[in-house]
């Protein structure tokens, strides 16, 4: 159903003017070579790769740790676990909608950094004070926070690259980030088995902190405006810089 809905929405929708102009004026050549030969674009690709590794490490680590934590550490009944996880996902949807709305007002970077730091700070508090009686409420807040960066990730990332290499750069950096998604369940499982679940949570905290700090320190938002038309020289018109 989501695939059919997406196809219906995108059917006949034209590509943005920046992409059309880039295809008309850009010289032929491999997109990876263009990125490699451009220091700013290569820098942004590497920074976003580090960021998405941390993001997916935290996100998928939380997903894999959550059910085990509820059952083993808090003694939540298996029959109730599904409802807890489902409620967490519902709140994650709400969190993404709210984050996206606020990002249009206060900026992608502000919401990205804020949501990642809040998640990093909330994780140890949630595990420290969670009990079978209050875990449902704690998970609702957790669900609201930990998926929020995904509300602005595509926009923030895509505006970091010119139209001529945008798809290649975003696709490469994000999918290299899946290294984090693969490593997270393994490392957290090892930490919980040989040491404690607290150490596993600590890894998630570090991941979300890295996810916040790399863009906060090194990646400006709105470096390239997807609606702007590239000039005949191939130089993109950038949107107003935002710290």
Tens-place pLDDT, residues 159-180 = 999 888 888 999 999 999 999 9
**Residue 221: helix, strand or coil by DSSP?**
strand
Model pLDDT, residue 91: 94
d(CA 180, CA 193): 19
d(CA 13, CA 241): 28
Model pLDDT, residue 25: 63
Residue 234 region by backbone torsions, left for phi larger than 0, else alpha for psi between -120 and 50, else beta? left
d(CA 155, CA 173): 14
Tens-place pLDDT, residues 96-152 = 999 999 999 999 999 999 999 999 999 888 877 877 778 888 888 989 998 899 999
pTM here is: 0.83
Model pLDDT, residue 84: 77
Residue 28 has pLDDT above 70, yes or no: no
- DSSP-derived secondary structure for 105-174: HH-HHHHHHHHHHHHHHHHHHHHHH--TTTHHHHHHHHHHHHTTTHHHHHHHHHTTS-TTTHHHHHHHHH
What phi, psi does 196 have (nearest 5°)? -160, 160
The dihedral through the CA atoms of 140, 89, 219, 212 has a sign that is positive
Domain layout of the chain by residue ranges? 50-218
Task: Report residue 26's pLDDT band, with 50, 70 and 90 as the boundaries.
Answer: low
By CB atoms closer than 10 A (0-12, 13-18, 19+), residue 86 is exposed
Tens-place pLDDT, residues 55-104 = 999 999 888 777 777 677 777 766 667 787 788 889 999 999 999 999 99
Tens-place pLDDT, residues 188-242 = 888 878 887 778 888 999 999 999 999 999 999 999 877 766 554 344 445 544 4
Tens-place pLDDT, residues 154-163 = 999 999 998 8
CATH of 50-218, picked from 3.40.640.10, 1.20.1250.20, 3.40.50.10880, 1.10.30.50, is: 1.20.1250.20
Contacts of 229 by beta carbon, 8 Å cutoff, 6+ apart: 17, 18, 21, 237
Give the tokens for residue 217: 């320190």
Residue 243 has pLDDT above 70, yes or no: no
Which residue in this structure is represented by tokens 């009990």? 131
Model pLDDT, residue 136: 81
């Amino acid at each position: 159903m989501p695939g059919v809905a997406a196809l219906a929405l995108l059917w006949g929708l034209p590509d943005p003017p920046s992409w059309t102009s880039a295809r008309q004026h850009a010289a032929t050549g491999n997109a990876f070579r263009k990125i490699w030969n451009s220091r700013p674009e290569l820098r942004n690709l590497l920074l976003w790769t580090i960021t998405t590794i941390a993001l997916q490490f935290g996100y998928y680590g939380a997903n894999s740790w959550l059910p085990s934590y509820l059952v083993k550490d808090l003694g939540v009944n298996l029959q109730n676990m599904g409802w807890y996880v489902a409620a967490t996902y519902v709140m994650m949807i709400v969190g993404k909608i709210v984050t996206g709305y606020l990002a249009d007002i206060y900026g992608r970077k502000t919401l990205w950094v804020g949501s990642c730091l809040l998640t990093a700070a909330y994780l140890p508090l949630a595990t420290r004070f969670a009990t079978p009686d209050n875990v449902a409420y704690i998970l609702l807040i957790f669900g609201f926070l930990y998926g929020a960066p995904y509300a602005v990730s595509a926009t923030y990332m895509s505006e970091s690259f010119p139209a001529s290499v945008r798809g290649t750069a975003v696709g490469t950096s994000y999918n290299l980030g899946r290294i984090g998604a693969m490593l997270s369940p393994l490392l957290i499982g090892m930490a919980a088995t040989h040491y404690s679940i607290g150490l596993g949570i600590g890894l998630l905290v570090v991941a979300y902190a890295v996810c916040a700090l790399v863009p906060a320190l090194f990646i400006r938002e709105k470096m390239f405006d997807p609606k702007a038309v590239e000039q005949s020289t191939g130089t993109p018109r950038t949107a107003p810089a935002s710290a």
